[in-house]
Amino acid sequence: MNDERICVGVIAGAFGVKGEVRLKSFCAEPEDIATYGPLWTEDDSRSFTVEIARPVKNGFAAMVSGVATKEAADALRGTRLFADRAALPSLPDDEYYHADLIGLDVVDTGGAPLGRVTAVHNHGAGDLLEIAGPGLKNPALLPFTRAAVPTVDLAARRIVVDPPEGVFPE
């Protein structure tokens, strides 16, 4: 995966029989996904331009370049789409792309290492950092809030956390 690209959406399969795809956007403004093109596959082997046809449940019906049949659209089911980082808007100081958080070391407010961010999840109620590390049988899920994560230092590749009680074993 190219570090200069950010995942902005995924093709969820065919929509209809004329080559349209169901497109799920991960963008803050979902329809902006069509403005960041071309969009690339995770392995950089293919690129697509996207034209949104209309909103549908859980995404958009869209045309992607090179896809003209239902079978071709179905073959792309699960294909994650990546935009060049330079094409994306700059973020305010307190916002981060998920890709920038994954892999950061996690320490507590006293500097003791707790693990490393392995994923960022959002199930509708805000972002959760998934943290794996020594001493953790299962990954810890930490709310990505200012109270629980007071410091994100991308240059030092670490975050300082003040987790709620019970997130990490004593």
* Per-residue pLDDT at 122: 81
Q: Tens of pLDDT along 32-76? A: 999 998 999 999 999 999 999 999 988 999 999 999 999 999 999
The SS3 assignment for 157 reads coil
Domain 5-87 has CATH 2.40.110.10: no
Residue pair 136/168 in contact (Cβ under 8 Å)? The answer is yes
**What is the pTM for the complete model shown?**
0.75
Strands (E) in 3-57, as ranges, are 5-14, 21-25, 39-40, 47-48, 50-56
- CATH 2.40.30.60 in the chain is located at 5-87
Q: Tens of pLDDT along 67-84? A: 999 999 999 999 999 999
CATH of the structural domain 98-161, one choice from 3.40.50.970, 2.30.30.240, 1.20.58.1910, 3.50.50.60: 2.30.30.240
What is the dihedral angle through the alpha carbons of 101, 158, 133, 121, rounded to the nearest 10 degrees?
-20
* Per-residue pLDDT at 168: 85
- pLDDT-derived band at 166, boundaries 50, 70, 90: confident
